[in-house]
Amino acid sequence: MKISLIAMDMDGTLLQSDQTISEKTTKKLIELQQKGIKIVLVSGRNYNRLKRYAEQLQLEKYGGYLIEVNGMAINDLQKKQREVLERLSIQQARELFALLQPYEVETQYIMDDGLYVHIPEVCMQEKKKLRKEHHIPDDFPWTAGATNVFFDARDGYARIMYMEHASEIVEEINKVGIPATAKQLEVMMKDLSELSDTYWIGRTTPTWLEIMPVNLSKGKALRMLAQRLSIPMSEVMCFGDGENDLSMFEVCAYPIAMSNAMDIVKQKAYTITVADHDHDGIIETLKQYHIGETEENV
């Protein structure tokens, strides 16, 4: 098995539950880069929220890349060149706002350095109750995350703008994020399926739904990058855990699902890691297949 490029999702895959990359994983990924294997971080996050991990893995030094926001942008860290492929227009974002309002769920319209946030009254009342019960500081954002009712969106987003009307959206959007219960998202996925010709709609976790332009995906961006690097997809291995990773699984030769991945992801995998993201699942699999241990990977 010759592997020249390893692409990895972040949350639930490379990152542990505490949002860190283990020392063991960091050391191994740097060693692989020293042997000439390209490392690509492929995430729903943008550059601001990936920068510290890229620095930790020394991607700039070894010619690594970022594929940001599920394929919205390709970032060549060594050349400091960031290519944005497509965004949601202001009109599209406003139309989605109107379309999503009846569901009475929190919606986030995410940009490079900020986000518009709409929190319906039914959600706000629940959040107020929880803030009081858990003594959450007054200056802590009201925003939810992929797995939490409250998430500090200031990590990567300098501007958090709470909104009530579609007309308040005045900038192009990278993606729409929707935190809700698994049951709510299942209903929304079914209802919104009629928009599949215009938008990519999928879950990164059972409680976080994302909407993006249909022409963007992690897989399309990964294939584009591999072609530019003259690396055949037969020499690409990728790791993931969510629905937004399935497009990568479709294009790379060795798609690996984390043991903590969604079932639909496991069904499409070449194999499944023995360990989960909290126990160096990626590294254990790389060792299992002797990646970087033979001359053909040097």
Q: What CATH number is associated with residue 152?
A: 3.30.1240.10
* pTM exceeds 0.85: yes
Co-location of 137 and 71 in the same domain:
no
90: left (phi over 0), alpha (psi -120 to 50) or beta: alpha
Kindly report the average pLDDT of the chain as a whole number.
Answer: 94
Co-location of 199 and 95 in the same domain:
yes
pLDDT at 34 over 90: yes
Look up the CATH number of the domain holding residue 238. 3.40.50.1000
pLDDT at 100 over 80: yes
Closest to 223 in 3D by CA, of 57, 7, 1: 7
Co-location of 271 and 234 in the same domain:
yes
Domain count, the chain: 2
Helices 23-34 and 281-288 cross at an angle (nearest 10°) of 40
**What residues make up the domain containing 190?**
90-213
The gap from C-alpha 46 to its chain's centroid, in whole angstroms, comes to 8
Q: Which amino acid is at 72?
A: M
pLDDT of residue 188: 96
Co-location of 113 and 189 in the same domain:
yes
pLDDT of residue 157: 87
Co-location of 164 and 16 in the same domain:
no
pLDDT at 85 over 50: yes
Co-location of 273 and 229 in the same domain:
yes
pLDDT-derived band at 298 (thresholds 50, 70, 90) equals very low
Co-location of 126 and 59 in the same domain:
no
User: SS3 for 240?
Assistant: strand
Closest to 169 in 3D by CA, of 249, 254, 108, 90: 90
Rounded Cα distance, 228 and 168, in Å: 39
pLDDT-derived band at 135 (thresholds 50, 70, 90) equals very high
Find the DSSP H helices in 101-146.
Answer: 121-133
pLDDT of residue 296: 56
CA 107, 110, 116: angle at the middle one, nearest 5? Answer: 60
